[in-house]
Amino acid sequence: MKPSKNDETVCLQVDFSEDFRMDIQDAIQGSYYSKKSVSLFTSHVWCSSQGFSFVYVLDNCTHDKYCISTILNQLFDEIKKNSKICKTFMFFSDGAAQQFKQRFLFRNLCRLADLFKIELYWHYFATSHGKGMVDGLGATVKRLVYSAILAGQHCNSAADFVVIAKSKANAIEISEIKTDFIDDSMAKIEPIFKSVKPILETKKIHSIKY
């Protein structure tokens, strides 16, 4: 990658952080069994002259193909705003079958490559070797929000989480992926997913190119 490093090439690492269970300071003991959670999708983007950190927060904690499709659309839009001349995207992620290493993501990447007129690579880390910058992003944001909760602030939804996190972390782009956005994305992409055929030996795939 070093020889090809330029303003037209963007490198990204993406991952889901562990879901954040929302707490309430001075809550009764029984509330432990009814705590809500939010999901965090973390990404860091490197280009030749700068870097960007993104955290997307969702009330939907399924981590399914529809959530990922919605998030990737948003992420691609953000990258294009910050680096309009980028032509090549190089993704790195772990190989979680539910999230990234599966036929629906493969098909969706074809669509995104055509939609944004880019060359797209997706590389998978070896099992248990997927740690990186994004793990620090998720941990930092959750720590800041939890500290605010302990100080008395209320966090009952993804929207609340984003408001608190934005007030604490200025260097990270934090935004909410609303359930309505996921539903709209699902309606648009479901016909495409229905036509996707099984791919044999998916576990043996370590890199894909579009």
Task: Report which of 54, 87, 63 is spatially closest to residue 176, judged by C-alpha positions.
Answer: 54
DSSP state at residue 22: P
Cβ–Cβ < 8 Å for 40, 57: yes
Q: What is the mean pLDDT of residues 196-207?
A: 93
Q: What is the largest CA-CA distance in the chain?
A: 58
Q: Strand pairing of 207-209 and 119-124?
A: antiparallel
The residue type found at 2 is K
Q: How far is the C-alpha of 78 from the C-alpha of 60, rounded, in Å?
A: 21
Q: What is the number of structural domains in the chain?
A: 1
Domain boundaries, position 7: 2-209
Q: What is the mean pLDDT of residues 164-182?
A: 96
**Looking at the DSSP assignment, which residues form a beta bridge with residue 208?**
122
| Between residues 5 and 134, the one the model is more confident about | 134
- Domain of 173, CATH number, reads 3.30.420
pLDDT digits (tens, 9 = 90+) for 12-61: 999 999 999 998 776 666 566 678 999 999 999 998 778 999 999 999 99
**Residue 130 phi, psi dihedral angles, 5° rounding:** -105, 15
Task: Report which of 58, 118, 33, 129 is spatially closest to residue 83, judged by C-alpha positions.
Answer: 118
